[in-house]
Structure 1
Amino acid sequence: MDTLFHNSRRKLSQGLLFWREAGEGTPVIFLHGAWNDSSQWVSVINSLSQNFHCLSPDLLGFGESENPHVHHSIDFHVECIAEFLQAVRLEKVYLVGYSIGAWIAASYALKYPDQVCALVLLAPEGVGIEGQEKNSRKMRKLVSRPPIFSQSLKWFRPLNKILGLKEKLEKDFNLRQKLLAYPNSFQLLFQRRQSEIEAEFLHKRLHLMEVPVLILQGGQDLLDAVVKTQTYTQLLPKVELQIIAHAGNDLPSSCPGIVARDIQNFINAN
């Protein structure tokens, strides 16, 4: 049986925030990833809302939330979540985050430890790894190419196939479309000054984390994602790591039942 969701909106100081809500009991906040909105969590919440009060906001600038003309940063979204929790009168919550949602959740727990019971982080962003700046330059270069570039990929597909370039060019085309579809994520991850991004990285502060943390990682995910998870696991003082061996990326969508089970078990234990 599908869960009955309530869709709500609340005016925050920086803009109108939309969220999905279901269930009663212990409050659990779900923060979506870079290339998603709160709908990413619907299948997981379908399982968990029988036992928990689940709230899944669209971050400002994503989904049905307002897109204010601001400079997006991790701390901006941390403060928006803080204002949101105050508005809905939730004093202490569990935070669950995927990708940049995990980065925001971990940053929130470091800044407001008294408001967080525990964290669940899925494929977390927010730590520096080797080759990251080079990858950022690649992403910026891919997006900066003129529109004719995308069209030319379609024109030359038959030739690309003959030359053996089809797979690479298709991958670049699809990646460029994703980056363009989520400009605020592109800004957060790749378009800000490197010094600003590094200032919000967490690897120098994770040892200060006061709350228990569960990390979920797909065993078939990209190497960069696996290395970031390993960094979190090595630096956090109270951490449990669960590898979902057969899974790739986007764990909330690809294996929601396993994710919901692991979250429930972790919350019940903490």
Structure 2
Amino acid sequence: MSLKTIQLKTYQAAYRQQGQGTPLIFLHGFLGSSANWQPIMSQLPLDYPCIALDLLGFGGSSQPPLKYTIWHQVAFLQEFIAALDLQAVHLVGHSYGGWVAAAYAIAASGYTWAADYSRWLPPTAADPRLISPARLSLVAPAGIRDDSFVGRYTYLRPLLWQTPLIDWILSAIAPLARLCHQEATFAQIYRARTELLKQPVARSFLTDRLTPTDAIDTVEPYLGAIAAPTQIIAGELDSTIPLWHCQTYAAGIPQAQLTVLPQAEHDLIQTHSKAIAQLITQPVTP
């Protein structure tokens, strides 16, 4: 599927689409894009209504230099749904995209956020511009406060330095990596630098979330507001999003069903695409 673009109120949104009707809107994870959903979309009939969106700051969508919060993504998703004039949606999110989907459902229930994107605000009348999702499928969703995450990726910050010195150092290390048979590790580091420099959301998360109190937009206190039937899919061996995060979602959302896929890690949308495709197209039975 080719990448399409549409101009929203402020930003451009890039997406991939197949079929017509009430769509599954696929929301990718951190450092990802709409292309990550191809293994699952390929398991569905060619006319099955699907839209895979590049979130704000990713892929072909606009990449403004913001101090990113989940509310930026909710507003972006809301504008995208309105621009396509969709009247009903089933949100499917992986990791960061699962966080976006959950936050969108919370906002559709009446919660909103401060104008400076600093905190959730108490619920008011639901915003008519936010279409309440008919269903959620959250695959290893992020968005639960976990203070053990603080500092976990501090070692990556030097890769954000926009100086030729870092590239010179990496070039100097490359022969040594080959000599020590560490080509794969070196390639991973080099790829991480390339991706981090392209991804404003990643840069923002590494520089703006330095303490537990910076977790201003997590969703665990508000999960009870989600009215949509929700399928939560966890990877048994996922070390990025621990199982207890998924269990917190399942315990907090009134109509939630939790499925744990054996032997699955955080890349489960690639490794377990057939099982996930089956789950997201079946009724939720809490």
Tell me if both proteins adopt one fold, taking TM over 0.5 as the criterion: yes
Determine the C-alpha separation between the residues in 2 that align with 1:13 and 1:116.
Answer: 22
- Farther off after superposition, 190-199 or 41-50: 190-199
Residue 90 of structure 2 corresponds to residue 90 of structure 1: no
Report the 3-state secondary structure (helix = DSSP H, G, I; strand = E; otherwise coil) of the residue aligned with 2:150: helix
Determine the C-alpha separation between the residues in 1 that align with 2:252 and 2:190.
Answer: 34
- Farther off after superposition, 76-85 or 134-143: 134-143
Residue 181 of structure 2 corresponds to residue 151 of structure 1: no
CA 1:225–1:115 in structure 2 vs 1: closer, same or farther (change >3 Å)? same
Would you say the 8 A contact 2:13–2:53 is kept in 1?
Answer: yes
Q: Residue 222 of structure 2 corresponds to which residue in structure 1?
A: 205
Q: TM-score, normalised by structure 2?
A: 0.78
Report the 3-state secondary structure (helix = DSSP H, G, I; strand = E; otherwise coil) of the residue aligned with 2:215: helix
* Counterpart mapping for 1:133-148 below 5 A: 133-140=150-157, 143-144=160-161, 146-148=166-168
Q: Residue 112 of structure 2 corresponds to which residue in structure 1?
A: none
* Counterpart mapping for 1:110-129 below 5 A: 110-113=106-109, 115-129=132-146
Determine the C-alpha separation between the residues in 2 that align with 1:227 and 1:116.
Answer: 25
Q: Residue 193 of structure 2 corresponds to which residue in structure 1?
A: 177
Please, what is the CA RMSD of the aligned residues?
2.9
- Farther off after superposition, 176-185 or 253-262: 176-185
Residue 280 of structure 2 corresponds to residue 263 of structure 1: yes
Determine the C-alpha separation between the residues in 1 that align with 2:250 and 2:194.
Answer: 29
Q: Residue 205 of structure 2 corresponds to which residue in structure 1?
A: 189
Deviation for aligned residue 1:147: 3.6
Residue 271 of structure 2 corresponds to residue 254 of structure 1: yes
Determine the C-alpha separation between the residues in 2 that align with 1:154 and 1:6.
Answer: 35
Post-superposition Cα deviations, 1:10-41, rounded to whole Å, max 9, x if no partner, equal: 10122221111111232211111112110111
Gaps of 5+ in 2: 110-130
Report the 3-state secondary structure (helix = DSSP H, G, I; strand = E; otherwise coil) of the residue aligned with 1:189: helix
Post-superposition Cα deviations, 1:231-266, rounded to whole Å, max 9, x if no partner, equal: 323333322111111222222222221111110113
Would you say the 8 A contact 1:21–1:54 is kept in 2?
Answer: yes
Q: Residue 126 of structure 2 corresponds to which residue in structure 1?
A: none
Gaps of 5+ in 1: none
Deviation for aligned residue 1:212: 1.9
Report the 3-state secondary structure (helix = DSSP H, G, I; strand = E; otherwise coil) of the residue aligned with 1:103: helix
Quick one: which amino acid aligns to residue 185 of structure 1?
Answer: V
Aligned positions, number: 261
Deviation for aligned residue 1:214: 0.9
Residue 253 of structure 2 corresponds to residue 233 of structure 1: no
Q: TM-score, normalised by structure 1?
A: 0.82
Q: Residue 77 of structure 1 corresponds to which residue in structure 2?
A: 73
Q: Residue 99 of structure 2 corresponds to which residue in structure 1?
A: 103
Deviation for aligned residue 1:192: 1.6
Q: Which has the higher helix share?
A: 1
Q: Residue 215 of structure 1 corresponds to which residue in structure 2?
A: 232
Q: Residue 21 of structure 2 corresponds to which residue in structure 1?
A: 25
CA 1:228–1:54 in structure 2 vs 1: closer, same or farther (change >3 Å)? same
